Structure 1
Amino acid sequence: MGKTASAEELAELDVFLEQFPNYKKTYQVTNALKGNDPEPAEVKPEDINGNLEEIWNRIKSSNENTVNEVKVRPMFRWQWVAAAVLIFIAAGALFYKKTAQQDSLTAENILHEIHVPYGKTQKLKLPDGTQVTLNAGSTFSYPEAFEKNTRDVSLTGEGFFEVTKNAKKPFLVHTARLVVKVLGTVFNVKAFNNDKTVETTLLKGKVQVELKNNPEKKIILLPNEKLIVINNREPKSIKPKEGKIEYQVTELPDVKPDEVKETAWVDNRILFTNEMFEDVAAQIERKYNVQVVFEDQALRSEQISGLLDKETLKEALGIIELTTPFKFRVDGQTVYLSKKEK
């Protein structure tokens, strides 16, 4: 149990603070740390360390010049008062600094993780005001607050971003294959682990893309450009074949904003033009929360075109069936596709 200072000792402390006014402000900080002073003055630990050495020198000098025994005792007690005050102040200031650092680290380290199930999409607003729409089957994480010099988020799946401008804090989207760096813009990132490619589509502004396996290579995208990166799903021990094209930048067709197929999913639509059936099937799985099974593997490479909007699953498959020779059957949450007999 701690000892409570007597009235005599508190009186000596007041005399001490009057003799050394430089420490009066510092002492006020300790009261603030205990909740006694609503408006503390700012005191840095390094200032306390310097003041500690100064006060001991002054006390030592006073003792060396003292001859009378009667005067030695009060000064001896002042040493203890000075030591107690400074130790308490130093500990309090360091505790205050540590607590402030912990509060800052806590905000940055608390991560929100969003899992979007098949059959749904989700919209959210980030701490900086950035708007994000997540596609079905996506996982997205972001911190409680953007305290660092960059605004870092992580994505597995597909997201449509409308980033709030902040030139001092670039916005970084981390995926398994690449990192997209922006200051403020509108773009789409498609990075599902099982897809053959990872795509970044820019609608407004400017972005810089860095490949994880080649960080020195900076790819700059301009509006209406799309970066397509081969999603190497082979084991890391197997190196890609030499000469194989790793990525390419293409220009989007000159169409109306609501006819851009890369972002049609934001409005819960699937727009496809001469795409492989297996790629469209992956979109159907996410939109309708089903599993598509190709009983005839040749159907995977069939090229199909169309637009699926508010149709039910069977209506959507019926639309594709009009132009593609296949038949289907639905068993619960599984769709079986087979070749139609001539």
Structure 2
Amino acid sequence: MQIAKYSNYTLPDFLEDDDFLLFVISPSQNDTVFWQQVAAEYPQQTEIIAEASKIIKAYRKQDVFTNEANQSKVWLRIESSLQKDQVKPKIFSLNKYLRVAAMLLLVSSIGISLWLIKGRQNEIDTAFGELRTVTLPDGSTVVLNGNSKLTYSDNWDKNSREVWINGEGLFNVTHINKDPAHIKPSERFIVHCPDMDIEVLGTTFNVRSRHNKTNVGLVQGKIRLDYVDAVTGKQSLIMKPGDYVQHTYKKALTRITLPAPEKITKWTKHQLLFNDASLAQISEIMTDDYGYQVDFSSPDLANFKIEGEINVPNVEELIETISTTLPVKITRTDKNITITKLNP
């Protein structure tokens, strides 16, 4: 698949694209990584991608079709909904979607027994700048940062406790295992990221997984990471409280010790915390979590660094801190920010 071809895709284009359809229906790890790259490369397509996914998922929630008439009714409802929203990049033809219906029906028929075993899938998405606390079926909680997604099933009584995350979340996991030497499948808790899996028993840890990079900080407890190293292949790492690791997909993992690991949870109180951060690192948080578009008038500006700690409650104060600390000028229009050098 070529990323560039999706730069100008319309909603109907996505609904007709087999690769996108399969990603929404049954995403693999490689699919997830690829579509994260598409969203990162073409942020203007994010809303259209989300809408196309919503339509396909809504279609999957319908009962298994027993005849063509039922198929037609569903697609007529979809078309009617699209027309009400005034999404008219081109005329929809029901026949174009019959192959989509057939594919969805095939997947549903093959996977219906697995669906019954795994239970209903829950998907929680947060908007830019939004924080949301999610209580999982076992009582564990996850605080989701802005522009993040958490997926899990309801049926955890017979299966592993598994969640999938894209974005950032602070996990507080309920400890239900009484015998560490004999862990039942339903007692395992696994967090799936695009580039690694995290297994825990009971603990508090922070996960940030974006742009094929995953950062994990352990506040308390014990967790194990399973990941792929570029040289040695599959690897595992046991983390202890205070450990902080950074991993880029199929590249080396780095590990440091945090003197105050509880600080990595500051974002859950709407605090923006940075230590010796470059403008590139700061702008990444503003873009990923709050939906800003940050442009530098020259590439070297991205390397400008603010020494020491920044701890502010909002983006406005962060911008003020940058302006008063560095020799730069910041121009802001809504969520578009341009940073230029001040003349000497």
Task: Bin the TM-score by the shorter chain.
Answer: 0.5 to 0.7
Are 2:312 and 1:309 equivalent residues in the alignment? Answer: yes
Distance 1:295 1:112 in 2: 42
The aligned counterpart of 1:171 is 189
How much does 1:303 deviate?
1.4
Distance 2:241 2:305 in 1: 28
The structure that has the greater radius of gyration is 1
The aligned counterpart of 2:26 is none
How much does 1:308 deviate?
4.3
Are 2:200 and 1:182 equivalent residues in the alignment? Answer: yes
TM-score normalised per structure 2: 0.60
The aligned counterpart of 1:113 is 123
Distance 1:147 1:319 in 2: 49
Gaps of 5+ in 2: 1-111, 178-183
SS at match of 1:284: helix
How much does 1:282 deviate?
1.5
The aligned counterpart of 2:145 is 135
How much does 1:231 deviate?
4.1
How much does 1:109 deviate?
3.5
SS at match of 1:322: helix
How much does 1:287 deviate?
4.8
Q: 1:231 to 1:341 in 2, by over 3 A?
A: farther
Q: Aligned partner of 2:136: which letter?
A: L
Distance 1:256 1:113 in 2: 29
Are 2:218 and 1:202 equivalent residues in the alignment? Answer: yes
Q: 1:141 to 1:212 in 2, by over 3 A?
A: farther
The aligned counterpart of 2:40 is none
Distance 1:186 1:314 in 2: 30
Q: 1:272 to 1:177 in 2, by over 3 A?
A: same
How much does 1:340 deviate?
1.4
The question of whether the paired residues in 2 share the 8 Å contact of 1:190 and 1:200 is answered with yes
Query: What is the CA deviation profile of residues 231-273 of structure 1, one whole-angstrom value per residue up to 9, with x for unaligned ones?
Result: 46xxxxxxx6xxxxx01221111x383xx1x222111111111
Q: 1:295 to 1:107 in 2, by over 3 A?
A: farther
Are 2:257 and 1:251 equivalent residues in the alignment? Answer: yes
The aligned counterpart of 1:86 is none
How much does 1:288 deviate?
3.8
Distance 2:204 2:253 in 1: 21
User: In the alignment, which of 281, 292, 295 is matched to residue 293 of structure 1?
Assistant: 295
Distance 2:335 2:242 in 1: 37
Aligned residue-pair number: 222
User: In the alignment, which of 236, 251, 270 is matched to residue 218 of structure 1?
Assistant: 236
User: In the alignment, which of 331, 335, 341 is matched to residue 337 of structure 2?
Assistant: 335
**Alignment RMSD, CA only?**
2.3
**For residues 1-342 of structure 1, what are the structure 2 equivalents within 5 Å?**
105-106=115-116, 108-167=118-177, 168=184, 169-193=187-211, 197-212=213-228, 216-231=234-249, 246-253=252-259, 255=260, 257=262, 260=263, 262-304=264-306, 305-311=308-314, 313-342=315-344
Q: 1:316 to 1:275 in 2, by over 3 A?
A: closer
Q: Aligned partner of 1:154: which letter?
A: W
SS at match of 2:137: coil
How much does 1:323 deviate?
1.3
Query: What is the CA deviation profile of residues 131-168 of structure 1, one whole-angstrom value per residue up to 9, with x for unaligned ones?
Result: 10011111110102214441111001111000011223
The question of whether the paired residues in 1 share the 8 Å contact of 2:129 and 2:145 is answered with no
Q: 1:228 to 1:156 in 2, by over 3 A?
A: same
Structure 1 range deviating more: 332-341 or 124-133: 332-341
Distance 1:317 1:125 in 2: 34
Distance 2:249 2:121 in 1: 27
Distance 1:106 1:219 in 2: 34
Q: 1:331 to 1:105 in 2, by over 3 A?
A: closer
How much does 1:306 deviate?
4.1
Q: 1:307 to 1:247 in 2, by over 3 A?
A: same
Q: Aligned partner of 1:281: which letter?
A: S
Distance 1:162 1:110 in 2: 22
Q: Percent identity?
A: 26
Query: What is the CA deviation profile of residues 82-122 of structure 1, one whole-angstrom value per residue up to 9, with x for unaligned ones?
Result: xxxxxxxxxxxxxxxxxxxx899536231111111111111
Q: 1:220 to 1:256 in 2, by over 3 A?
A: closer
TM-score normalised per structure 1: 0.60
The question of whether the paired residues in 1 share the 8 Å contact of 2:221 and 2:241 is answered with yes
